[in-house]
Structure 1
Amino acid sequence: MDVTTTQYASFYQFLRTLDCYLGDDGQMIGEVQHFAENPQREIAAFVTRKTSDQIEVPANFIRILYVMKGNVLVSIDSSEKKLSTGGLVLTNAETKLSYSGNDEAEVIAFYFKPSYFTESLLGQFFEEPLLYRFFVEALSDELVGISRFLVYAFSDNSDVHFYALLLLKQIVKMAYFNNKVTKSAFVLLIVELSQAAPEHLIAKDSFVSNGQLTEEVLAYIDVRLEQVTLEEVAQKFHFHPNYLSSLLKEKTGYSFTEIVLLKRIERCKSYLEQTDLTVQTIVERLGYKDKAFFYKRFKQIEGITPRQYRKKCERKKTHV
C-alpha cells in the first residue's frame, strides 16, 4: 500500500468516528429540520450508509450529494442517474433530489443556507465561470422555481474525493458552525470541480439561463454607449466584471469590448447616413479620443472608411 493510499485509509477511518452518520430517511429529514431552525448554522453535512431505503434530500437549500463508496441510484427531478464512488451532484434549492444505494453505499449530503455564500466567499472562485455562475443564479430571486443541477463522475482517488472528505471532516469537527478553514475546504472543492476535465461533467439541467438578463445588459449598453465601461455595467447588474464578460461571450459570441465596438460602428453608420456631422465629431461622440484606432476598426469590419461609407450612402440617395 503506497503512502497516498495509507493516508486516505487513515483519513477515512477518522471520518467513521464523527457524529454525522444517519440510518434512514426520517433521521435525515429530522436533522435537516434542526439545521434549518438554527439561525447560527449555515452549513451542514450528513452521511448515510448501508441502507436501501429511498433517502430524500430535503429541498430549500443549495446541496451537494457525494458518493463516498458503493453504487447509488439518484433521482433528480423526474430523471434517474446511476452513480458510483466519486459521483457528485450539485443542485439549487428547487431541485427534487433523492437516492437509494446498495449495501456498500455511503453518501454525503452537504447543505448550505443562502447566507453562507457571502460576496467574499463567491469572489474566491469568480474565475471559475461555470460554478461561479451556478451559485450566483442559485441565489437569485429571479430564478425561483427553476431547478438547476450539475452531475459529475470522478474516481475515488481524485482530489475531488479528498476535498469532499476534508469538507465533511471540517464541518462536523466545527459542530456545523463556520470558520475560515471550513470555507477554505469548500473553495478547494469548488475550484477542483471547476477545473476538472469536461468529460467529468456527465449531466446538467437544460435550462438556458440569463437570456433575458443578456438582453437587458445589451439594452443598457445601447443607452450608455458613448461612455459605457465593463465595470459600470457589472455594478449596475450586481455581477463581478469577469463573470459578466464570460456571460456575454457565452450568450453572444463576442466579448464586452467587441460588443461595444460593433454597436458604436452601427451608431456611427446611422450618424453618417442621417446627419452632416463631421467624422471627427461623430468619433468623439462615440467616446473615442483616438480617431485612427476607430478608423482602422471601422474599415476592418465594413471594408471601407467612414468617409467612403458616407459617400456610398449619398450615391444611393441620388439614385432613388
Structure 2
Amino acid sequence: MDVSVAQYASFYQFLKTLDCYLGYEEQMLAEVQRFAENPQREIAAFVTKETSEQIAVPTDFIRMLYVMKGTVSFKIDEEEKQLNTGGLIIANGAAQLSYRGELEAEVIAFYFKPSYFTESLLGQFFEEPLLYRFFVEALSDEFICISRFLVYDFAEATDVHFYALLLLKQVVKMAYFNNKVTKSAFVLLIVEISQAAPERLIAKDSVVSNGQLTEEILAYIDARLEQVTLEEVAGKFHFHPNYLSSMLKEKTGHSFTEIVLLRRIDRCKSYLEQTDLTIQTIVEGLGYKDKAFFYKRFKQVEGVTPRQYRKMRKEEN
C-alpha cells in the first residue's frame, strides 16, 4: 500500500488538534506516571519535540520510539545510535533508553503494559517470527532483567511512517483507552515493520532464548501439522534442517519426525473422541496415505489401535 504525501499532511494537521505534544522531560515523566497509575490504560502515546536536552525514557514498560521528524541521538544501554526520520526502536522494560534531538525533531513514544499483549493479539502476527518472538520474550520472566531491543531505519516515505501515525492518532483519539481498532492499528504497524527489507533492521541485542524459540517452533508445527516438513520449518526460522532437528532433540528429547508423529497421534485421539469421522478420513486428514503405517505407530504409542481407542473412550464416557 502506497500512502501519498497528501495523506501524511492530513495526519499532521489532525495531530495538531490533539493534545499529544510534550515539550520537555518533566511533561513526559508526568504522562507516563499517569499511565502507570491508571489500571484502565494499557497503552500510552505522545510526541516529544524540542528535545535538545537529554531525555531519559522510563523503564518497566515495553516501548516503541519512532522518529517522526528530524535527527535524534539515542542511547541504548551504553550504545549510541543516531537515527533520522523513519528511525524506530522497540525495547523491553529492562533496556535503558535516552535520547536527544535537534530542536525541530519530533519523536513518537508508545508505552505498553504487559496486559496489552493478549494471546489473541499476539496470534494476529504469529507469522512474523522476529517480532512475535520479541514480544513473547519481552513478556517472559526469563528476560525481566535482561535488556532486549530492535533498531530499524526506515525511509520517511514508507508505510511504517503512515501506520505509526495511524496508531498514534487512534490511541490519542480514544483518550488512551484500549479498543479493538487501536489493536488493529498496532497489528498493521507490526506487520508492516516485519514485511520491510531485512537491511532495515540495523541493530539488535545479542540475547537468544532457545527455550522460547523452541515453543514458537512447536506452535508453528501445530499450526501446520497436517502438511508440515522439516525443510519448511527450517526455512521459516532461518536454520539449517540438521541444526533445527538437533536443537529440537536437545530441548524436547524427540526428533522432528517424532514430534510430528506424537502430535498427530494426539490430534487423532481428539478426533476419535469428539467426532464420528471415519478413521480413514482422520488418518488421511493428518497427512498419511498409508493407513497401516499410522495404525502401527499409533498402537506402539497408545497400546491399542485407533478403533480400539475410540471404543474404549466411548465406553468410559
Residue pair 1:249, 1:256 contacting (<8 A) in 2 also: no
Q: Which amino acid aligns with 1:113?
A: K
Residue pair 1:74, 1:98 contacting (<8 A) in 2 also: yes
Provide, for residues 163-212 of structure 1, a one-character-per-residue CA deviation record: whole Å limited to 9, x for no partner. 00000000000000011111110000000111111000000001122258
- Gapped regions of structure 1 (runs ≥ 5): 222-228, 235-241, 265-280, 290-320
**Paired residues, what number?**
255
Tell me, yes or no, if structure 1 residue 80 matches structure 2 residue 57. Answer: no
Change (3 A) 1:73 1:248: closer
Runs of 4+ deviating beyond 6 Å = 242-245, 255-258, 281-284
Q: Which amino acid aligns with 1:83?
A: L
Match in the other structure for 2:190: 190
Q: Distance in 1 between matches of 2:300 and 2:71?
A: 64
- How many angstroms does 1:285 deviate by? 3.5
Q: How does 1:244-255 map to 2 (within 5 A)?
A: 252-254=243-245
Match in the other structure for 2:35: 35
Residue pair 1:25, 1:55 contacting (<8 A) in 2 also: yes
Provide, for residues 225-274 of structure 1, a one-character-per-residue CA deviation record: whole Å limited to 9, x for no partner. xxxx9549x9xxxxxxx99996695893349799333899xxxxxxxxxx
Match in the other structure for 2:49: 49
Q: Distance in 1 between matches of 2:17 and 2:23?
A: 15
Tell me, yes or no, if structure 1 residue 15 matches structure 2 residue 15. Answer: yes
Q: Distance in 2 between matches of 1:7 and 1:217?
A: 37
Residue pair 1:62, 1:93 contacting (<8 A) in 2 also: yes
Match in the other structure for 1:260: 256
Change (3 A) 1:174 1:209: same
Match in the other structure for 2:71: 71
- How many angstroms does 1:11 deviate by? 1.4
Q: Distance in 2 between matches of 1:286 and 1:179?
A: 46
Q: Distance in 2 between matches of 1:103 and 1:282?
A: 69
- Radius of gyration: which is bigger? 1
Q: Distance in 2 between matches of 1:133 and 1:47?
A: 27
- How many angstroms does 1:157 deviate by? 1.1
Q: Distance in 1 between matches of 2:174 and 2:70?
A: 27
Residue pair 2:52, 2:103 contacting (<8 A) in 1 also: yes
Q: How does 1:1-320 map to 2 (within 5 A)?
A: 4-210=4-210, 214=214, 230-231=221-222, 252-254=243-245, 259-261=255-257, 285=300
Select between 19-28 and 58-67 the one with higher mean Cα deviation.
19-28
Residue pair 2:71, 2:83 contacting (<8 A) in 1 also: yes
Aligned to 2:255, the other structure's residue is in SS state: helix
- How many angstroms does 1:51 deviate by? 2.4
Residue pair 2:56, 2:99 contacting (<8 A) in 1 also: yes
Residue pair 2:49, 2:106 contacting (<8 A) in 1 also: yes
- How many angstroms does 1:141 deviate by? 1.1
Change (3 A) 1:282 1:159: closer
Aligned to 1:253, the other structure's residue is in SS state: helix
- Gapped regions of structure 2 (runs ≥ 5): 226-231, 261-295, 305-317
Report the TM-score, using the length of structure 2 for normalisation: 0.71
Match in the other structure for 1:317: none
Q: Which amino acid aligns with 1:259?
A: S
Q: Distance in 2 between matches of 1:44 and 1:85?
A: 21
- How many angstroms does 1:128 deviate by? 0.6
Q: Distance in 2 between matches of 1:217 and 1:98?
A: 32
Change (3 A) 1:8 1:209: same
- How many angstroms does 1:217 deviate by? 11
Change (3 A) 1:61 1:217: closer
Percent of aligned pairs with the same amino acid: 66
